[in-house]
């Protein structure tokens, strides 16, 4: 009986200590400089486009006072128009993923 109760207490403490959050990023404007494609036969100085994405975070509050560890992940998708070597207008689709560790101490 007591062993089962202590397992539940530990499981609930871990569940309360782990905190997750997510966010949808509003669309924005991106200026890729220099451009990552050939615009005709040259590389453009700037390639403007729009991006949107989403992010998530996982945070674990440890048993040490004021100390937490976790990570953030951000996915972004960029769309930019350019003119290819043949004169055709094309859309550059550029997905990106950033994963960042987090160590936090508040004193």
Query: Which pTM does this prediction carry?
Result: 0.64
Q: Is the pLDDT of residue 15 over 50?
A: no
pLDDT at position 7, please? 34
Residue burial 73-84, b: 16+ Cβ < 10 Å; e: rest: ebebebebebee
pLDDT at position 24, please? 66
- Assign 106 to helix, strand or coil: coil
pLDDT digits (tens, 9 = 90+) for 53-102: 999 999 898 888 889 999 999 999 999 988 877 778 889 999 999 999 99
pLDDT at position 98, please? 94
CB 19 within 8 A of CB 61: yes
R_g of the chain computed on alpha carbons? 23
């Amino acid at each position: 009986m007591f062993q089962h109760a202590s397992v539940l207490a530990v499981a609930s403490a871990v569940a309360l200590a782990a905190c997750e959050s997510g966010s949808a990023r509003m669309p924005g404007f991106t200026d890729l400089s220099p451009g990552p494609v050939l615009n005709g036969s040259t590389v453009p100085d700037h390639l403007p486009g729009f991006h949107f994405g989403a992010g998530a975070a996982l945070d674990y509050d440890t048993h040490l006072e004021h100390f937490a560890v976790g990570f953030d992940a951000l996915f972004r998708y960029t769309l930019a128009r350019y003119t290819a070597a043949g004169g055709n207008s094309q859309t550059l689709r550029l997905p990106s993923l950033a994963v960042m560790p987090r160590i936090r101490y508040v004193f």
